[in-house]
Amino acid sequence: MKKQAFTKLQQLTTLIETQLEWGKGDSWTNKDFETLSERIFTETEKQISVTTLKRLWGRAKLIANPSIPTLDILAEFAGFEDWRSFSKQTAVETPILSTKKTNTPVSMWGMFGLLVVIIGTISTLLLQGSTVTKEPRPPLSETEKENITFDFEKVTVGYPNTVIFRYDIGDVPYDSIAIQQSWDQGKRIKLDKAKGLATTTYYYPGYYATKLIINNEVIQEKDLYIPTDGWRSFVGGNVPQLIYVKPHQLIQDTSIHIHSDVLTEMNRHSPTHLWLSNLLPEPSINGDHFDIETTFRLVQPTEKSICQNMWIVITGAKEVLRFQLSAPGCVGDLMFFLSMDMISGKDHDLSAFGVQPNEWTNFKVKNRYNQLFVSINDEPVFAHELPDGIGEIGGVQFIFEGLGEVDLLKMVDKDEAIDLIQ
């Protein structure tokens, strides 16, 4: 890689470190990189594998020349349009200062980008200095933890949904208190009182792992589940790009599908993924012993869709199982998130998950006490041992790069069967 590009990559990774507030990347754990990969997907709906992220941060063998699409995703996650935009709007770090005058102006964005990096570096140095001069508080004792309360309540059914968190840590000495709103370490509410409440609004359905954190130690963790109140759909993106599909645009008859005028809206926006979800008010399917069968297809892709990706997200009260399918030629980029495990098409043969997206695909998932089995069109294609259970299952979410349609969705546990398309 050219020296300038390498310097800019370091500048970009430093900027992301500053935004995340997780500390320097050389101290991140494998779980931190997994969380970052998941967060990048959530915010951009594009994927960078954990291995690639480690290489970009110099934690594995460096990539000699990172691909522009990868750099585009990383720059978009940092708040820029793409890598070229980042390169233009940020100043290039110069290893050796020159006394030669130049007539090249420095842009306002360039100064801002450089200032962010400088502030991040100074903050890190100050933080390191403070840890030397100030002894960290010892971990809380079990007795202290037992007297701490942390709970929440949802104000409605469905989404968007405001959640009210209440906490009381009593007389426990503390330097910091925070509520982490989900699995994402970057989404924390900082608190300044030993007792009180905080609220946050969830714009998407699904599972969230919320935590009460004292002195950077997770004290309590709660599984937060946001249902859909029947079949619901939205065009995905970060607020304010999020668009809820109107009731008359969501058609429910012999199948669940979307009115064609939604595709026009999708082609105007980026990212352009459609979510189609049905999560029961309370998770009721046994997550340790279940069969789920569904039939779906991509009716019409968006203008920008190349691989015509489709995702299936089995949503539990504690964790999720997310599978990805695409056109056959794109299977090398597929990515599964199975509880705490990540399976990538970069180092696994996922060719069976390459399908003709516009044709009906029958997809079956069976779990027998963390032994997972998948069949596509009645052919066994995948088996995996889960590291942990996902809790009671509330339903399934589908993600399409265009207009999707679901013809069958049936969930069965050892006690009962639920057909979500009547």
100 occurs within a structural domain: no
Residues 58 and 119 reside in one and the same domain: yes
Greater model confidence, 98 or 6: 6
For the chain, the residue count is: 422
Q: What is the pLDDT of residues 356-380, one digit of tens each?
A: 999 999 999 999 989 999 999 999 9
Residues 279 and 300 reside in one and the same domain: yes
210 occurs within a structural domain: yes
pLDDT at residue 319, rounded to an integer: 87
Residues 338 and 377 reside in one and the same domain: yes
8 A C-beta contact, residue 365 and residue 413: no
Greater model confidence, 97 or 56: 56
101 occurs within a structural domain: no
Residue that finishes a domain, picked among 209, 226, 243: 226
Residues 203 and 122 reside in one and the same domain: no
Sheet holding 149-154, edge to edge: 149-154, 161-168, 195-202
pLDDT at residue 182, rounded to an integer: 80
CATH number of the domain where residue 185 is located: 2.60.40.1930
What tokens were used for 126? Answer: 């100050």
CATH number of the domain where residue 266 is located: 2.60.120.200
Residue that finishes a domain, picked among 176, 198, 226: 226
Domain total of the chain: 3
Residues 251 and 330 reside in one and the same domain: yes
Domain housing 366 = 232-419
Residues 192 and 243 reside in one and the same domain: no
Residues 158 and 66 reside in one and the same domain: no
194 occurs within a structural domain: yes
Residue that finishes a domain, picked among 116, 133, 150: 133
pLDDT at residue 92, rounded to an integer: 44
pLDDT at residue 417, rounded to an integer: 67
Q: What is the pLDDT of residues 265-301, one digit of tens each?
A: 888 876 578 999 999 988 889 999 999 999 999 999 9
pLDDT at residue 310, rounded to an integer: 96
212 occurs within a structural domain: yes
- pLDDT bin (cut points 50, 70, 90) of residue 99 is very low
313 occurs within a structural domain: yes
pLDDT at residue 332, rounded to an integer: 93
80 occurs within a structural domain: yes
Residues 6+ apart with CB under 8 A from 106: 91
Instruction: List the end-to-end C-alpha distance of the chain, in Å, as a whole number.
Output: 57
The Cα–Cα gap between 420 and 409 comes to 6
pTM above 0.85, yes or no: no
pLDDT at residue 184, rounded to an integer: 67
Residues 116 and 215 reside in one and the same domain: no
pLDDT at residue 351, rounded to an integer: 97
Residues 383 and 407 reside in one and the same domain: yes
Residues 277 and 208 reside in one and the same domain: no
pLDDT at residue 31, rounded to an integer: 74
pLDDT at residue 350, rounded to an integer: 96
Residues 199 and 267 reside in one and the same domain: no
Residues 278 and 395 reside in one and the same domain: yes
pLDDT at residue 90, rounded to an integer: 67
pLDDT at residue 103, rounded to an integer: 41
- pLDDT bin (cut points 50, 70, 90) of residue 246 is very high
Name the E strands within 132-267. 149-154, 161-168, 177-180, 188-191, 195-202, 206-214, 217-226, 232-236, 243-244, 250-252, 256-258
